[in-house]
């Protein structure tokens, strides 16, 4: 019997609205339709009525989790347009903020993923240690989220040298936590059973769907803007790009955990290498022309394009967030999965969206409807974990 | 392949089809082409030179038409190549790249509904961002409405 299972318009695990229509044969997904647009805020259109300075604040509101990646791409685009190079110290400050954001975003995702497969301890711990990062950001920028640090030609606030030892101490507290997460995920037979060979996105599919970030790298695509088109201070730092080959949910999880280690490494080197200096060029205007800016957000490449006619407002502003390509790839990764696994696969790309309410099963033959709440869906996933535990005898 | 090799390949293959080659700086290259060259050009980049499609962006210009840019990069290289096609009003038509590059499917739906461009031979031309009951002929990013 063929059925259609709609998930959405709010994603049952993540936090923003979208709509997935799962076509299933019994328990197995045969096709996936994706609908977005429930949260379209016309930011590109709005940007045309904002001054260049205001655009940076506007794009910061695109996403609450990667709230510094969009401003990063935005100032990269504007600096590309104007041929501006920010001072060295500002580049280090920018890099530190970007990497702190990467750690907190990956921990947030790890917590949600843990909760979803029935590992609530991982959830609580991940979010507990995320607080360390948020505290650092709070002290450094004045905000736990939406830091408003970046501007064309520099940053708005310098990092106080006196605070650096406190930041280092906080990062030191994070390191054993990362080791713990690595152990908890990499060595757990149940997590292996739930995530290995689940939701595989092959390298060829990854290329066809043009995916980016921790959705592409676990599929064997060595792609990272920080390495490929270095911006800020990434070129002056010694760090490695994490590339895995399997393309399954496990590889996506491992990729994010390993990237947090790299992020810590990058931040520490920035503290080591930062020299006193100015942090802002006080740029007054931008010339006519075009600019392209890229930044590696926690979810992958953010791409901004701006067109200037020489006025104080962009004539056109285009934003491509990483989830735009990554979510579409679910179309390939979900096919052949069970419903309990499919919801995990949908979440494994860390879509910038969301969690909530309902799952409706539509039985075409009987013309009946059954509604699932968020708890029902999580229950389904937890039951699957229990089955796996029983099979493994743990 | 280095960028110099790629550049030579592109210029050799499409020497007479390139209307304008503009390097904003060493990493940002804009290539103007005719709309009928879009599919062969993009396929050559994607299939032969293993480029990655990033996104497309369209802008309604005061020059009586819509400019669409298709942005590509080459994985480990810093260069971004933007193919620019100019569609003169009222013939706003361009061939779809989605049959060859899956990743273009959504953005083609988006530029179709926001700018009113007819993307020919698209496999799934339905609304992406706008609601299904959005009035026909109203395009939010057009400046002439």
Is residue A355 predicted with pLDDT exceeding 50? Answer: no
A313–B contact, CB cutoff 8 A: no
Integer Cα distance of A112 and A106 in angstroms: 10
Q: Which residues contact B7 (CB under 8 A, 6 or more apart)?
A: none
| Helix A120-141 with A88-116: angle, nearest 10 deg | 160
Whether residue A343 lies inside any domain: the answer is no
Phi, psi of A17 (to 5 degrees): -85, 130
How high is the pLDDT of residue A365? Answer: 44
How high is the pLDDT of residue B132? Answer: 86
Q: Which residues contact A368 (CB under 8 A, 6 or more apart)?
A: A362
> For residue B115, what is the nearest residue in chain A, using CA coordinates?
A45
Question: Could you give the percent of chain A with pLDDT greater than 90?
Answer: 62
B1–A contact, CB cutoff 8 A: no
B28–A contact, CB cutoff 8 A: yes
Whether residue A36 lies inside any domain: the answer is no
How high is the pLDDT of residue A369? Answer: 45
The residue length of chain B stands at: 145
Residue B111, classed as helix, strand or coil, is: helix
Supply the range of the domain harboring residue A251: 43-324
B32–A contact, CB cutoff 8 A: no
Torsion angle of alpha carbons A138, A139, A140, A145, nearest 10°?
A: 0
Partners of residue A37 in chain B, C-beta under 8 Å: 127-131
Average pLDDT for A32-59: 88
Partners of residue B27 in chain A, C-beta under 8 Å: 229
Complete DSSP assignment for A331-362: HHHSTT-BHHHHHHHHHHT--S-EE-SEEEEE
Whether residue A17 lies inside any domain: the answer is no
Contact B140 A42 (CB under 8 A): yes
The domain B3-91 belongs to what CATH superfamily?
Answer: NADH:ubiquinone oxidoreductase Nqo5 subunit (3.30.460.80)
Under DSSP, the state recorded for A381 is: H
Whether residue A301 lies inside any domain: the answer is yes
Partners of residue A325 in chain B, C-beta under 8 Å: 103, 106
Total domain count, chain A: 1
How high is the pLDDT of residue A360? Answer: 32
Is residue A357 predicted with pLDDT exceeding 80? Answer: no
Exposure b/e, A283-309, CB count within 10 A at least 16 = b: beebeeebbbbbbbbbbbbbbbbbbbe
- Residue B20 contacts residue B85 (beta carbons within 8 Å): no
Average pLDDT for B126-136: 89
How high is the pLDDT of residue A341? Answer: 85
Nearest to B52 among A40, A210, A292 (CB): A210
Tokens of A165: 């030892």
Is residue A346 very low, low, confident or very high in pLDDT (cuts 50, 70, 90)?
Answer: confident
Whether residue A332 lies inside any domain: the answer is no
Average pLDDT for A300-310: 95
Give kind and range of the element (H or E) at residue A169. Answer: helix A164-186
Ramachandran region of residue A197, left (φ > 0), alpha (ψ -120 to 50) or beta?
Answer: left
Whether residue A330 lies inside any domain: the answer is no
Integer Cα distance of A97 and A317 in angstroms: 24
Domain of A213: which CATH number?
1.10.645.10
Contact B129 A207 (CB under 8 A): no
A204–B contact, CB cutoff 8 A: no
Integer Cα distance of A101 and A97 in angstroms: 6
pTM: 0.91
How far is the CA of A174 from the CAs of A94, A171, A254, A327, B51, in angstroms? 21, 5, 17, 30, 38
Average pLDDT for A125-133: 95
Cα three-residue angle A45-B27-A79, rounded to 5 degrees: 50
Q: Where are the domains of chain B?
A: 3-91
Partners of residue B107 in chain A, C-beta under 8 Å: 320, 324
How high is the pLDDT of residue B145? Answer: 76
Closest C-alpha to A315, from A51, A83, A65: A51
Q: Tell me whether residue A272 is exposed, middle or buried, using C-beta atoms within 10 angstroms of its C-beta: 0 to 12, 13 to 18, 19 or more.
A: exposed
Tokens of A110: 């790890």
- Residue A355 contacts residue A7 (beta carbons within 8 Å): no
Integer Cα distance of A45 and A26 in angstroms: 44
Is residue A390 predicted with pLDDT exceeding 90? Answer: no
**CA distance, residue A152 to nearest chain B CA (Å):** 18
Average pLDDT for A180-207: 91
How high is the pLDDT of residue A200? Answer: 94
pLDDT in tens, A70-80: 999 999 999 99
**CA distance, residue B33 to nearest chain A CA (Å):** 17
Whether residue A147 lies inside any domain: the answer is yes
Whether residue A16 lies inside any domain: the answer is no
pLDDT in tens, B36-95: 999 999 999 999 999 999 999 999 999 999 999 999 999 999 999 999 999 999 989 999
């Amino acid at each position: 019997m063929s059925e259609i299972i709609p998930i959405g318009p709010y994603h049952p695990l993540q936090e923003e609205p979208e709509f997935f229509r799962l076509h299933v044969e019994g328990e197995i997904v045969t096709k996936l339709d994706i609908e977005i647009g429930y949260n379209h805020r016309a930011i590109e259109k709005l940007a045309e009525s904002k001054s260049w300075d205001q655009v940076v604040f506007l794009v910061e509101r695109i996403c609450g989790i990667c709230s510094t990646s969009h401003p990063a791409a935005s100032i990269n685009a504007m600096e590309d347009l104007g041929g501006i190079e920010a001072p060295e110290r500002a580049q280090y400050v920018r890099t530190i903020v970007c990497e702190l954001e990467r750690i907190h975003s990956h921990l947030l995702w790890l917590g949600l993923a843990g909760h979803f497969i029935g590992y609530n301890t991982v959830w609580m711990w991940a979010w507990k240690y995320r607080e360390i990062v948020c505290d650092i950001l709070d002290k450094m920028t004045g905000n736990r989220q939406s830091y408003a640090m970046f501007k064309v030609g520099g940053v708005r606030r310098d990092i106080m040298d006196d605070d650096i030892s406190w930041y280092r101490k906080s990062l030191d507290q994070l390191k054993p936590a990362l080791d713990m997460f690595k152990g908890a995920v990499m060595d757990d037979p149940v997590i292996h059973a739930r995530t290995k060979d689940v939701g595989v996105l092959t390298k060829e599919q990854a290329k066809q769907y043009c995916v980016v970030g921790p959705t592409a790298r676990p599929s064997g695509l060595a792609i990272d803007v920080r390495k490929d088109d270095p911006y800020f201070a990434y070129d002056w730092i010694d760090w490695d790009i994490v590339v895995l080959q399997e393309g399954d949910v496990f590889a996506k999880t491992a990729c994010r955990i390993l990237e947090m280690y790299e992020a810590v490494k990058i931040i520490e080197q920035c503290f080591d290498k930062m020299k006193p200096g100015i942090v802002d060029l006080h740029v007054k205007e931008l010339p006519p022309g075009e600019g392209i800016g890229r930044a590696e957000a926690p979810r992958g490449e953010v791409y901004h394009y701006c067109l200037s006619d020489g006025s104080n407002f962009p004539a056109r502003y285009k934003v491509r967030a990483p989830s735009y390509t990554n979510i579409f790839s679910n179309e390939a990764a979900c096919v052949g999965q069970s419903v309990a696994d499919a919801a995990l696969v949908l979440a494994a790309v860390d879509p910038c969206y969301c969690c909530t309410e309902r799952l409706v099963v539509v039985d075409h033959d009987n013309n009946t409807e059954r509604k699932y709440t968020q708890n029902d869906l999580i229950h389904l996933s937890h039951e699957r974990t229990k089955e796996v535990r029983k099979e493994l005898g743990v | 392949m280095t960028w110099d090799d790629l550049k030579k390949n592109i210029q050799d293959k499409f020497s007479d089809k390139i209307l304008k080659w503009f390097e904003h700086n060493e990493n940002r290259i804009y290539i103007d082409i005719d709309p009928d060259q879009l599919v062969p050009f993009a396929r050559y980049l994607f299939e032969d030179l293993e480029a990655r499609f990033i996104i497309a962006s369209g802008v309604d210009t005061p020059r009586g038409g819509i400019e669409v840019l298709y942005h590509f990069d080459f994985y480990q290289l810093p260069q971004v190549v933007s193919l620019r096609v100019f569609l003169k009003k009222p013939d706003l038509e361009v061939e779809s790249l989605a049959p060859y590059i899956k990743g273009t499917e959504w953005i083609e739906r988006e530029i179709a509904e926001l700018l009113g461009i007819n993307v020919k031979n698209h496999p799934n031309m339905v609304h992406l961002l706008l609601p299904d009951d959005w009035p026909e002929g109203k395009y939010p990013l057009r400046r002439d409405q």
